[in-house]
Amino acid sequence: MEFAAFAERVERLEAEPADLETTAIVADLLVAAGDDLETATRFLLGRTYPAHDDRTLDVGPASCREAIARAAGPNVTADDVEARLAERGEIGAVAADFDFGGQRGLSAFGDGSDPLSIAEVDDTLRELAAAAGEGSESRKVDALFGLFNRCDPAEARTLARLVLGEMRIGVGEGTVRDAVAEAFLAAVDDESDGSEEAAVDDESDGSEEAAVDDESDGSEEAAVDDESDENGDANRASDGAYAAVERALQVTNDYGRVARLAREEGMEGLDAERIRIGRPVQAMLAQAGSAADAVESFGEVAVEAKFDGARVQVHYAPGPDGFGPRLYSRNMDDVTDALPEIVEFVADRVDVPVVLDGEIVAVDDDGSPLPFQEVLRRFRRKHDVDRMREAVTCRIHAFDCLLAGGDSDGGGEDGDGAPDDLLREPLRARHDRLVDVLPEAAADLRVVDDVEAVERIESAALEEGHEGVMLKDPTSAYTPGDRGRDWLKRKPDVETLDAVVVGAEWGEGRRAELFGTFLLAVRDGDGYEPIGKVATGLTDEELADLTERLEPHVVAESGTELRIRPEVVLEVGYEEIQTSPTYGSGYALRFPRFVGVREDKSAEDVDALERVARLAENGAGPADDASLDSR
Ligand code: AMP
């Protein structure tokens, strides 16, 4: 696919306000992508690599500006580009402003007159991602310059955004998921057995080619319009098709691969995808909930301590041709090298292939848990690992088992020689496998059916220094990336803070007209000191309301950031208060969340730094009744 054709659709997506149309345009793009389907799918999400792969382009905004300046000609400097960025607020718009191509002949790509293909862009981005060592920064700028030099304005806009990983076209993962189902599985009726085969075969024996050709000579417009005019729902796939795409995405974390599988192998191919050692899946997440919620919804409740540490997924296949152990963070970054004692612990004890889910905690000499901040001193460390290993001891609490071999040959219990993918097994069964493979680190799981029993376990967990308890449905499957109701987290309530807004950042994509992030401050003497930024917990309506309230108080604007006179007071929740050099207050809220606007309060009434210090000191402890009543 030519990069210009991709960029043209990206522009159309950006201009398209309705979600239904967006999905139709994305579906159309996926069909038109032909051999470049995987790349086009990833590009749409601003990615060169799948989400499970932690390689990055590692191109900073300065290098991107430099490459744009060079492609724009001898009269344009990187400073000019930066100045333009301050005006336009967004690198894509800046890149589209310049007239590129004047530097032909200087480009690394011959005379640069060939149209750029999406595959070429992908190859170049991958090459520059791999560039390392001395001079790599300037090689990256060279390579980018070569690309920009061949771009028309629409291509340049798309390329600049892609390089910096922010497409700003309102196409999220959900849209791509739906579009994959609608592009390649819409004809599949999951009720009528056998018809998938036919539908899929139809598509994969060459007819895409035809479709692509048809479309690329100008008829895309018509194709998209047709669909949307007649009926926005005309291309809806069956619920089973959406679910199959969703599940395959959960297991692979690779939108490109899933799009290709859907096109070439249909539902069956998607369904056959399995969790694999070395390819981390997203962590299953929890919602807040109470013991009563859990008993009411699950009947029997599996209760475990909520360990206060950092999430980790362990992938290990023992043996000479094995793999790992390697450890991945909640964002699927490889953090193995920072935690050698966990690697040794697993390698010494596990003798079958496994994927385990757990929490790394820092412990004192008696093995009691230390606060979360201690683990952070270890978790992503690249230097001084050995010294820090001496200073902060870490251990792993494993609480789930996503894949396991069980026989002496490493195969699973079904005797097929391959380790078992346990994602769809119930929690109880997964926990049994966990106890089989790594009893020394398996979290205690107690199944109870009344609120008092949950509360007793919670008290004991708090007593032992844990953060609270997790309440899980013992019959539930492991759904990667899902923050559903199968896992509930129960922590002692924390007191909220009242803080004043002293800054904001414009939102992105669809929210570009609204403030999206708010810098909060507490009182310190006669002034205010920032303690964190809140961006979660806000609906579009609330954002619009806050934007309207705050706009009259803006005192300065630079790029996307605004300085705001302290007037508007917000109540915020948070999970913890940490000491932090990031903010002037010396503290930072961990996971701050918007609770409400305190109309009744003015800036002078916000909480004082002393209270923040006291809460931090007490581990932002349980709320007393008075503070709850004061809401
Ligand atoms: P939170 O970070 O407050 O959203 O709580 C969810 C996190 O608690 C998970 O992502 C895990 O990192 C962590 N956690 C600690 N203990 C457990 C456990 N027993 N089961 C699942 N998650 C746990």
The residue with greater pLDDT, 110 or 252, is 252
The pLDDT, as a whole number, for residue 169 is 85
Overall average pLDDT of the 323-344 stretch: 93
**What is the CA(254)–ligand 1 centre distance, in A?**
24
What is the rounded distance in angstroms from the CA atom of residue 441 to the CA atom of residue 356?
Answer: 11
Structure confidence by residue, pLDDT tens digits, 241-299: 999 999 999 999 999 999 999 999 999 999 999 999 999 999 999 987 888 889 999 99
Structure confidence by residue, pLDDT tens digits, 503-535: 999 988 778 889 999 999 999 988 999 999 998
Fold type of domain 52-163: DNA ligase i, domain 1 (1.10.3260)
Structure confidence by residue, pLDDT tens digits, 116-139: 999 999 999 999 899 888 888 889
Structure confidence by residue, pLDDT tens digits, 67-87: 999 998 888 899 999 999 888
The pLDDT, as a whole number, for residue 141 is 92
* Ligand 1 binding site (Cβ under 6 Å of any ligand atom): 283, 285-286, 304, 306-307, 311, 359, 399, 443, 470, 489, 575
The CA-to-CA distance between both ends of the chain, in Å, stands at: 57
Q: Which of ligand 1's atoms lies nearest the C-alpha of 286?
A: 6
Structure confidence by residue, pLDDT tens digits, 434-451: 999 999 999 999 999 999
If we measure between CA atoms, which residue out of 105, 100, 89, 113 comes closest to residue 67?
100
The hierarchical CATH code for the domain 285-490 is: 3.30.470.30
Whole-number percent of the chain with pLDDT over 90 = 55
The pLDDT, as a whole number, for residue 301 is 97
Asked if 603 and 528 count as a contact pair (C-beta separation under 8 A), the reply is yes
**Taking 80 as the threshold, does the pLDDT of residue 27 lie above it?**
yes
The pLDDT, as a whole number, for residue 293 is 85
Helix, strand, or coil (residue 459): helix
The pLDDT, as a whole number, for residue 512 is 82
Q: Does 380 carry a binding-site annotation?
A: no
Lowest mean pLDDT among 297-306, 399-408, 455-464, 613-622: 613-622
The pLDDT, as a whole number, for residue 265 is 97
**Taking 80 as the threshold, does the pLDDT of residue 619 lie above it?**
no
**Catalytic residue ranges:** 306
**Taking 70 as the threshold, does the pLDDT of residue 402 lie above it?**
yes
Helix, strand, or coil (residue 39): helix
The residue with greater pLDDT, 598 or 228, is 598
Q: Does 483 carry a binding-site annotation?
A: yes
- The per-residue pLDDT of the chain, averaged, comes to 85
Structure confidence by residue, pLDDT tens digits, 532-587: 999 877 888 899 999 999 999 998 888 889 999 999 999 998 878 889 899 999 99
Per-domain residue ranges of the chain: 1-45+174-273, 52-163, 285-490, 496-628
For residue 229, count other CB atoms closer than 10 A to its CB.
9
Six-digit token string for 508: 């992105």
Domain 496-628 has CATH 3.40.50.300: no
Asked if 339 and 306 count as a contact pair (C-beta separation under 8 A), the reply is no
> For the chain, how many residues are written?
631
Q: Which of ligand 1's atoms lies nearest the C-alpha of 400?
A: 20
What is the rounded distance in angstroms from the CA atom of residue 379 to the CA atom of residue 618?
Answer: 24
The residue with greater pLDDT, 115 or 112, is 115
Structure confidence by residue, pLDDT tens digits, 140-155: 999 999 999 999 999 9
Torsion of CA 576, 577, 582, 586, to 10 degrees: -170
Residue 303 CB partners (closer than 8 Å, separation 6+): 445, 446, 447, 448, 453, 454, 457, 458, 469, 470, 471, 472
Phi and psi dihedrals of 57, rounded to 5? -70, -30
Torsion of CA 212, 216, 219, 221, to 10 degrees: 100
**What is the CA(26)–ligand 1 centre distance, in A?**
35
Percent of residues in the chain assigned helix, strand, coil, to nearest 5: 45, 20, 35
Q: Does 304 carry a binding-site annotation?
A: yes
Lowest mean pLDDT among 158-167, 386-395, 596-605: 596-605
| Mutual angle of helices 255-271 and 195-202, in 10-degree steps | 140
**Mutation pick for ligand 1 pocket among 306, 328, 395, 471 (CB with most ligand atoms within 8 Å):** 306
**What is the CA(395)–ligand 1 centre distance, in A?**
15
The DSSP element (H or E) to which 126 belongs, if any, is helix 118-130
**Mutation pick for ligand 1 pocket among 399, 489, 493, 589 (CB with most ligand atoms within 8 Å):** 489
Q: Does 359 carry a binding-site annotation?
A: yes
Give the model's confidence band at 406: pLDDT under 50 very low, under 70 low, under 90 confident, else very high: low
